[in-house]
Structure 1
Amino acid sequence: MNPRTSTPIPTEPEALRDLVLSLLQTQQEKEAEWAERARYIAQQELAIALRDETIARLESTIAKLQRWRFGRRSEKLSPDQISLWEEALDTEIAAMESILESVLEDSAAVTASRPGTEAPVAPARPPRRHPGRMQLPDTLPRVEVHHDPLTCTCGQCGGLLETVGEEISEKLDYIPGHFQVIRHIRPKLVCRPCGTIESPALPAQVIDKGLPTARMIAHVMTAKHVDHLPLYRQETQYLRASVPISRATLCSWLGQGEYWISMLAEACKMALLEGAILHADETPLPVLNPGSGKTDKAYLWVYRSQTDAPHPIVVFDYAPDRKGIHAQNFLGDWKGILQTDDYGGYDALYRKKQIIEAGCWAHVRRHFYDVEQRGPSPVAQKALAWIAKLYGIEADIKESPPDQKAEARQQRAGPLLESFRAWLSETQMQVAPKSGIAKAIAYALNRWKALTLYLEEGRLSIDNNPVERALRGVAIGRKNFLFVGNDAGGERAASFYSIIETCKLNGVEPFAYLCDVLEKLPTWPNKRLHELLPWNWKKTALA
């Protein structure tokens, strides 16, 4: 054994001082390194805890949905309602499984990319329900896509690769009017010296190793949310075309497709909140309560950019109730003019002073119209005639730029509104205090400042109708698919409506848009998501 040697300690003061300073510096560097490691470990422990919490929550949600789906059914539901009930739950299960797989894959990728660490044992994935891969009918036309290798040499030893066979993957595709099958043909290549076998990689898919193409998923989503066809009706249509796609399979495709679209919806929201003028409204959306066999009333809150915005945007936000806190959470620190109806849920926003209230003349007109419909009312008729003159002015200046609109409104509508207000105040003293006409007059007078704001701001609309028109698709959909499966389903429905309604406002055909973005999203970088938003996509498509 070699004797242990030690560095002699210097005796001179200068050398001793340098040694002490050197040791102190080394100690400080070590302490800083240990502190950095401690911070890193704390961050990793927090990330793991959050990941485990997310995985546990998703697994719990999937288990609960499966109990609802395969458990005892309520006898209160009709056969058609049961079909919609099963359809909603199957879609929710598929979507939750997609999110869970994404969380597990992201966690594994982060762990694998960290140098000098051993990969932990991944949490066991819950077994996925699989209806079995359907056999595509031989009668469907086939389109072959050949994938050539990028190199002819082995990546392991550099030897020459030889073709020994082919790998064929079939994808169900949809061209408007008929189905076809895309056959992806990849040669099997072998390196004789080292025995390596490889094939060119398939392009990234919306559903990894799934049967449908992006175009097929786009068709299912468009039929459900744009044409308002529940999946059980689509199943019948496909069967007539000799393509027996089960409803469970369609639910899986729909849920996984909606997962990708939700990414674009969040980017749409960020773009919307860059505007200075917004419209807002809300509408009921039934959400399934499987335990009771009934539905609860949730809400879709909808926000729209100003009418003359360079690229109009509509964003839907799902909430389990109609409390004003949801509007506050959505808008956050946004500052500007918010045009709404008379719902009190927005009052807390206006009290903050950073948001200015703009009123809606369509709601004023509706109150007087309701009085007139209950019986002839000279007062209501005169008020309606006055409001019609305001709308006549708007029709005349519809194509004018904002500054000219404001000037025309002040010159033409301003004096008219002053006379109208004086007449309303005088008439209010002459009608019964609790009558319908008194309530209509009070509604207008109490909101006069908000109702006349459009005189000064040419970018404002005279009413809130632009955002109400965006709700028509939701109203039609409610009559067809009746309800959403749960809160998560409501959030995905809100995301999809956001994209589809924004497409319509920007003159983008929804099916063509979905076909393209679903093809691109699996490999598209997050920092470039704005390039796939409907108004930017339209510019690219026209280029």
Structure 2
Amino acid sequence: MPAPENNSDLQSVLRYNTELVITVEQQQKTIEQLREELALYRRKLFGRSSERFVDDESQLRLFETGDEQGSVDELEDDQEDDSKTKRRRRKKKSEKIPSHLKRKVIEADVSPEKRMCSCCGEEMPIIGTDITERVDLIPAELFVWEIHRHKRACGKCKDTIAQVPAGEEPGGLTTPIPGSDYGFGVYTQIIVNKFADHLPLYRGEDIFARAGMLIPRNTQFGMLVNIAALVGGLLELMASRVVSGKVIGADDTTVRVQDPSLPGKMRTGRFWLYRGREDNPYNVFDFTESRGRDGPASFLKDFRGHVTVDAYGVHEGVYLGATDRIYAACCNSHARRKFNEAKPNDPVAAAHALSLYRGLYDIEDRCHDFSAADRLELRQKESVALMNELHDWLIQKSSDPRVLPKSSIGKAVRYALNQWDELSVFLGDGAIPIDNNQTESELRSLTIGRQNWLFVGSSRGGEVAAAMYSLVSSAARHKLDVWAYVDDCLRQLAGGSTDYESLLPDIWRKAHPEAIRPYREAEATSRRLTTQQRRTRRREARVA
């Protein structure tokens, strides 16, 4: 650009230069924001899913200041805890083969000529046997109940005929649906395939074909529709028990729905999960074709208490509506996750927030097995102070000009402040959890299945899936053999039983201890104990 010839030209150049500087600054901010988003997406796609509080120590030390020094020290505690835990892990011994498995014996003996003693020529008697056991598998095989209902008639009296009525054969029913060509085992297998093992119905076709007979997917769906009607009374009891509690965990996820009126087109539907607490330990799923209040308004119409939800559920009033009988308790894990995602943007600030949250979760760990009253007492004694400290820090950061509103740390601060009242609800009631993690975990089984079956074929298909997930997820929650539980439920209900109470999974579990999966209980206990031990060591290290 040529040198300005007068003052007017000079002013024009200065204005132009100022505009360029502003533009460059704005572009730089945009670039930084896009870099953060790209890094976040890369971590979600390719990084570890764990949100363990461990970070790049060298970067943190570079910026250590003042009160936030403790956050960095605690990062080192976690890494040390991890290394100690790994050193103590030992390879498990081979599991003992269960005695109840059927044995097929293979007799292995030497040939007749080798049985003769090389010294005296006499046949050597057996003096012992070494037994080796090896587990094998016979693929599932379909079989046919061929029911012969004999007719009897008097040879003299033409009008007298006797025959066992259909469905009253010795040994009881062989099918849950009158007139069906399929028995209980086939119905149960279809349910387990799709809703416990996450397989789409077309893969079920392959499974049954390998077993000896193709059962088309449209036939399988029709069978599921009938079963959903059969178990309706049991699911209604589960739902009524869930809404009778004072606290419900709620979450939702989308699903694609085929539109019969528009071939090749998809609508968006939504599955809703309502998780009862320990006093009503059932998972009830619902299906709607919107994220509006229609579904929650219907399910929660008789509910009074707190619903643990995410921020969307709070601000859009999806679960709460305009009533004064339902109150929100926001998930602190969501707020914590925002700071975990902000670590690349501002590692020191993120570490400070995460250290406070770790202190809160340490307290929750200690009162895990407490009564609601004792848990409330501990929270009032220790958690309130930490939450107050976190709130003061958030206020300070929100007014810090160095914290850009659109940066990931700025978004994390704003998110927490916008939900602060709901995030703090757990401090006033020991029955309210600090987060909604358990509900999100229960919903994960559906989201895993969705990755395989991709969509539902109709609104009716969504409703049937919600019913089946309610049955299967509630059984899995109690560490039950899902196949055994579902099969027995179908047999009891098809036989005319209306004793739904006995079929609730927590009640049924007590009557069928053989159907409990001990390895799942052991896994859950081991995970919890490992976490408790790690946190205990960290607390003791701080005191020392």
Normalising by the smaller structure, the TM-score range is 0.5 to 0.7
Structure 1 pair 208–363 and aligned structure 2 pair: CA distance change class (3 A): same
C-alpha displacement of 1:376: 4.0
Does the 8 A contact of 1:410 with 1:455 survive in 2?
yes
Does the 8 A contact of 2:238 with 2:504 survive in 1?
yes
- 1:450-480 CA deviation, whole Å, 9 max, x = no partner? 2122122112211011110111111111111
Does the 8 A contact of 1:350 with 1:357 survive in 2?
no
Counterpart mapping for 1:365-376 below 5 A: 365-373=336-344, 375-376=345-346
**Which of 317, 323, 328 is equivalent to 1:346?**
317
C-alpha displacement of 1:215: 1.8
Does the 8 A contact of 2:142 with 2:212 survive in 1?
no
Does the 8 A contact of 1:350 with 1:356 survive in 2?
no
Residue type of the partner of 1:298? G
TM-score (norm 1): 0.63
Q: Is 1:316–2:285 an aligned residue pair?
A: yes
C-alpha displacement of 1:533: 2.4
Q: Is 1:534–2:505 an aligned residue pair?
A: yes
Counterpart mapping for 1:149-188 below 5 A: 177-188=140-151
Number of the residue aligned with 2:332: 361
- 1:174-209 CA deviation, whole Å, 9 max, x = no partner? x98333332323332223435322311233542222
- 1:246-271 CA deviation, whole Å, 9 max, x = no partner? 44433333332233233422221112
Number of the residue aligned with 1:424: 394
Structure 1 pair 304–201 and aligned structure 2 pair: CA distance change class (3 A): same
Structure 1 pair 231–433 and aligned structure 2 pair: CA distance change class (3 A): closer
Count of aligned residue pairs for this structure pair: 365
**Which of 243, 256, 262 is equivalent to 1:273?**
243
What SS does the corresponding residue of 1:177 show, helix, strand or coil? coil
Does the 8 A contact of 1:311 with 1:535 survive in 2?
no
Counterpart mapping for 1:134-533 below 5 A: 177-191=140-154, 192-203=156-167, 205-290=175-260, 291-306=262-277, 309-343=278-312, 344-346=315-317, 349=320, 351-373=322-344, 375-430=345-400, 431-526=403-498, 528-533=499-504
Distance 1:508 1:310 in 2: 18
Distance 1:258 1:225 in 2: 13
What SS does the corresponding residue of 1:441 show, helix, strand or coil? helix
Structure 1 pair 302–186 and aligned structure 2 pair: CA distance change class (3 A): same
Distance 1:222 1:379 in 2: 47
Long gaps (5+) in structure 2:
1-137, 168-172, 515-544
TM-score (norm 2): 0.63
Does the 8 A contact of 2:291 with 2:318 survive in 1?
no
- 1:12-54 CA deviation, whole Å, 9 max, x = no partner? xxxxxxxxxxxxxxxxxxxxxxxxxxxxxxxxxxxxxxxxxxx
- 1:427-462 CA deviation, whole Å, 9 max, x = no partner? 211023443322321221232222122122112211
Does the 8 A contact of 1:316 with 1:498 survive in 2?
yes
C-alpha displacement of 1:508: 2.3
Does the 8 A contact of 2:189 with 2:483 survive in 1?
yes
Higher strand share: 1
Structure 1 pair 406–207 and aligned structure 2 pair: CA distance change class (3 A): same
What SS does the corresponding residue of 1:301 show, helix, strand or coil? strand
Distance 1:349 1:201 in 2: 53
Does the 8 A contact of 2:191 with 2:224 survive in 1?
yes
Distance 1:238 1:177 in 2: 9
Structure 1 pair 265–539 and aligned structure 2 pair: CA distance change class (3 A): same
Residue type of the partner of 2:433? S
Distance 1:330 1:345 in 2: 17
Distance 1:406 1:239 in 2: 56
Distance 1:292 1:409 in 2: 55
Number of the residue aligned with 1:146: none
Distance 1:473 1:463 in 2: 19
Distance 2:490 2:158 in 1: 39
Distance 2:234 2:334 in 1: 33
Residue type of the partner of 1:468? E
Does the 8 A contact of 2:234 with 2:500 survive in 1?
yes
Structure 1 pair 285–180 and aligned structure 2 pair: CA distance change class (3 A): same
Structure 1 pair 451–248 and aligned structure 2 pair: CA distance change class (3 A): closer
Residue type of the partner of 1:404? D
**Percent identity of equivalent pairs:** 32
What SS does the corresponding residue of 1:349 show, helix, strand or coil? coil
Structure 1 pair 461–206 and aligned structure 2 pair: CA distance change class (3 A): same
The Cα RMSD (Å) is 2.2
Does the 8 A contact of 2:273 with 2:283 survive in 1?
yes
Distance 1:356 1:463 in 2: 15
Structure 1 pair 482–263 and aligned structure 2 pair: CA distance change class (3 A): farther
Distance 1:267 1:406 in 2: 30
Number of the residue aligned with 1:87: none
Does the 8 A contact of 2:309 with 2:330 survive in 1?
yes
